[in-house]
Amino acid sequence: MKKILIYIAILLGISGGLFYIDKKINEPAKIKGNKSLIIYNWGDYLDPKLIKKFEHEYNYKVVYETFDSNEAMFSKVKQGGTSYDIAIPSDYMIQKMKSEHLLKKLDKKKITGLSNIGESFLNKSFDKNNQYSVPYFWGTLGIVYDKRLPAQDIPDDWRDLWNPDFKKKILLVDSARDIMGMSLIDLGFSVNTKNDQELEDAKKNLDELAPNVKAIVADEIKMYMADNEAPIAVTWSGEASEIMNQNNYMNYIVPDKGSNMWFDNIVIPKTSKNTKGAYDFINFMLKPKNAAQNANYIGYATPNNQAKKYINKKQIDNPELYPSEDKLQHLQVYKELNQEYIEKYNDLFLEFKMISK
């Protein structure tokens, strides 16, 4: 019995030692001053190597949380359960967050590198004089297609997607405003319309597209297109860039009829408890080499003019990823909708999704 007890003691001692070792290995690194920065961003929208670099240079521990829609991000920030220091919403949502008093006004004296941003990306209607936001990425909505399609089937206009030859061959990004917007543009309407008849017409137009829809998906659209699961997809320019990098048969176009031009900007929510760290992060991301590294990783277009000389040549030379000024004139920017019309867009899109299954 005594020997058994000794063995048990030895085993407990060993297991206790292993527990201690394991605890030390998995214990988070101690950050001097217990500094942390909580970032709320879209999924896979910041190079992980840049997070590590930022932590090393500024001695912060980054807590990185993600969202899959502007509306989900808005709700979480408004609830105030988490003290986010940085968030990265899109144009119309910045306007909404401002009106709801959810953002801190920027102190420009604490920002270095704003001069690196091109003038065409500053002072936009959703945030005049950039009082609350700093440009992060911008891009377009367009069509990814397989260049091996028959010549007569190569799409160059939204209307081409309704081609009966494309039955169950099209993937759509899961976004109410983008897909409703695509249909509205096809019919010659504004992507910000509050005309009920135009919205109904756009929904009927989508219903006619339903037989051609193979699936409506989120981030996995990149994987499916890269793996040749479909010959055509409607998605954003950055997703398209990644698809083309993985599959040389894929190409991306923005129809001349027009599309959405979107902007994602960095903001500091009212919830921020580490505002100094938020400014440090903004200044870090405004550095040209960091902005270029992020653009090369993500695939979206950077508004940082000084970063362009460090960006992958294949990407920067693609006129669909960095459109000409002439094409930019035909692009529309989303504006904030009131709750009534947010629900109408969402409900109409949901109805379309149901019949597209």
Summarize pLDDT for 157-212 with one digit per residue, the tens. 999 999 999 999 999 999 999 999 999 999 999 999 999 999 999 999 999 999 99
Give the CATH number of domain 139-261+331-355: 3.40.190.10
Q: In the structure, what pLDDT confidence band is assigned to residue 18 with cuts at 50, 70 and 90?
A: very low
User: Which pLDDT score is estimated for 324?
Assistant: 84
Q: What does the pLDDT read at residue 325? A: 81
Q: Characterize the bridge pairing of strands 61-67 and 213-217.
A: unpaired
Q: How far apart are CA 190 and CA 188, in angstroms?
A: 7
Distance CA 206, CA 196 (A): 15
DSSP-based three-state secondary structure for 19: helix
Segment 338-346 mean pLDDT: 94
Q: Is 135 helix (H, G, I), strand (E, B) or coil?
A: strand
Confidence of residue 7 (pLDDT cuts 50, 70, 90): very low
Distance between CA atoms of residues 267 and 89, nearest Å: 8
Q: Tell me which CATH code domain 32-137+263-323 carries.
A: 3.40.190.10
**Residue 139 pairs with which residues in a beta bridge?**
262
pLDDT band at 68 (very low <50, low <70, confident <90, very high): confident
Domain with CATH 3.40.190.10 in the chain: 32-137+263-323, 139-261+331-355
> 60: helix, coil or strand?
coil
Q: In the prediction, which pLDDT does 166 show?
A: 98
Q: How far apart, in whole angstroms, are the C-alpha atoms of residue 122 and residue 125?
A: 9
Q: Are 355 and 172 in contact (CB under 8 A)?
A: no
Say whether pLDDT at 243 is over 60. Answer: yes
Q: Judging by beta carbons within 10 Å of its beta carbon (0-12, 13-18, 19+), is residue 116 exposed, middle or buried?
A: middle
First CA to last CA distance, the chain: 68
Class of residue 211 by CB neighbours under 10 A (exposed 0-12, middle 13-18, buried 19+): middle
As a whole number of angstroms, the distance between CA 28 and CA 26 comes to 6
Q: What is the pLDDT, as a whole number, of residue 330?
A: 86
| Eight-state DSSP code of residue 159 | G
Q: How confident is the model at residue 93, as a pLDDT?
A: 96
DSSP 8-state secondary structure symbol assigned to residue 254 = -
On the question of pLDDT at 23 being above 50, the answer is no
